[in-house]
Amino acid sequence: MPTTRSPLLLHALSLLLILAAFSGGALAQNPYFVTYDHHLEDEGDLETSFFTMVGLPRTGQRTYVAPLGEIEYGVRDWWTSSLYLEGQSTAGDSTIGTGWRFENRFRPLQTEHWINPVLYLEYESINEASRVQKEVVGNSAEFNERNEILRVEHAHELEGKLILSSDVHHWNVSENLIVEKNLSENEGLEFGYAIGIARPLAANPQSQCRLCRSRFVAGVEMYGGLGSTRAFGLSNTTHYLAPAISWKVSESSTLHFSPAVGITKGASPVLLRFGYSYEVESFRSKVSSLFHRRD
């Protein structure tokens, strides 16, 4: 019997698709945690981010905290690379490192279009204790085993995404189609999706007022698994609906927050996501100037 609460899931997904059809925005910093838009780092810029997810589990499971650190660099205007380090701490269990990820995003069309595609490729070297849920794919997972067992089960995974994103009248609408392959096991392909809609609370993002509405970007995203090549569909899959907001504290710093609500039986009831990002503009030029001064 399917474990998905199909009516609730389909209604939520339908609402996002309807909004996507009639919306669109130009945003400097979208609030999404899972969904990707088409905005890449400018060439030579560097951004460091630290994200933390707190999972409030179902009855009989333990609360966990999953930190994720990121260094993102604009290799070219059309190519952004990111390196991630992640860990996990479970109440009544232990704190461990869970691995690293190397991500690349490529934008084939340099000018703005009605729909802007981005190609995404990520290599993951993680163990089965990973809890960051940077994406949700495949079928529902059970988090019952102890970290000492999960940490020795290592996985090499390759993940691809087709990112479609539009900016119209201060709105952003983004859709991601996800395919993941575990290179360590013969599990076939796993599928997932993410949809996000966001906009700034007011225009004039250059305002110097830190608490003005123009400093805030709010939105909502929905993400979940779509099964695998062995069993494609919504049966026994995990899905979340998550309002999200970001606050541009300064020209370089941004805070993010998103409480995700599980809308299917296999999901955690609540995922609390927090984030902080700091951007260094013209990082490449600054490093180059520093070495030239030493010479």
> What are the extents of the domains in the chain?
6-294
Q: Where residue 187 falls among pLDDT bands split at 50, 70, 90?
A: confident
- Give the mean model confidence (pLDDT) for residues 188-213: 87
pLDDT above 70: residue 15: no
> Over 60: is that where the pLDDT of 21 sits?
no
Q: Which range, of 6-20, 55-69, 73-87, 239-253, averages the lowest pLDDT?
A: 6-20
> What is the topology classification, in CATH, of domain 6-294?
Porin (2.40.160)
Give backbone dihedrals phi and psi of 128, rounded to 5 degrees, phi first: -70, -5
11: pLDDT strictly greater than 90: no
Average pLDDT, the chain: 88
> Is residue 277's pLDDT more than 60?
yes
pLDDT interval class at 157 (50, 70, 90): very high
Q: Which pTM value belongs to this model?
A: 0.87
Across residues 126-135, what is the average pLDDT? Answer: 95
> Using 50, 70 and 90 to split pLDDT, how confident is the model at 290?
confident
- pLDDT at position 28 is 46
Q: Which tokens sit at 279?
A: 């951007």
pLDDT score for 27? 43
- Residue 208 pLDDT class (50, 70, 90 cuts): confident
pLDDT computed for residue 205 by the predictor: 57
Average pLDDT over residues 271-277: 97
pLDDT tens sequence across 41-54: 999 999 999 999 99
**Predicted pLDDT at 19:** 40
pLDDT at 29: 67
